[in-house]
Amino acid sequence: MQKIPLRLAQPGMFLAQPVTQEGGRVLVGAGMELTSSILDRLAAADVYSIVVEGSPVSGFFAGQKVLARLDHLFRKHEEDQFMCALRVLLRGYFERKAGRENF
């Protein structure tokens, strides 16, 4: 079971927990196989994350660790414009890579 951002969900994955709205209304039940239309409906309902069976996107969380490490490495250089610009460029690169390749 893994909680993932909706943008990384793919058709064919199965929900491990139901997807609910704030009021508790169930949008999609547990055990349902995700389809493109279900993913579109969840996005339209402003759902940002879901819990799926297995660990289909473990690389995404490795990417999050890379971003956290990058922030840690640049923490002492907030006053240096060059280092701030470099951090922004590197962060953008790794965020794009995480979204595209699930590294």
Q: Give per-residue pLDDT as tens, 26-45.
A: 999 999 999 999 999 999 99
Strand 2-5 relative to strand 49-52, pairing: antiparallel
Strand 26-28 relative to strand 49-52, pairing: unpaired
Q: Give per-residue pLDDT as tens, 59-69.
A: 556 667 788 88
What is the reported pTM?
0.56
CATH fold group of domain 2-52: Molybdopterin biosynthesis moea protein, domain 2 (3.90.105)
Residue 46, judged by CB atoms within 10 A of its CB (0-12, 13-18, 19+), counts as exposed
Task: Name the residue ranges covered by the structural domains of the chain.
Answer: 2-52, 58-101
Q: Provide the residue count of the chain.
A: 103
What is the residue type of 78? E
Adjacent-strand bridge partners of 49: 5
pLDDT at 50 over 60: yes
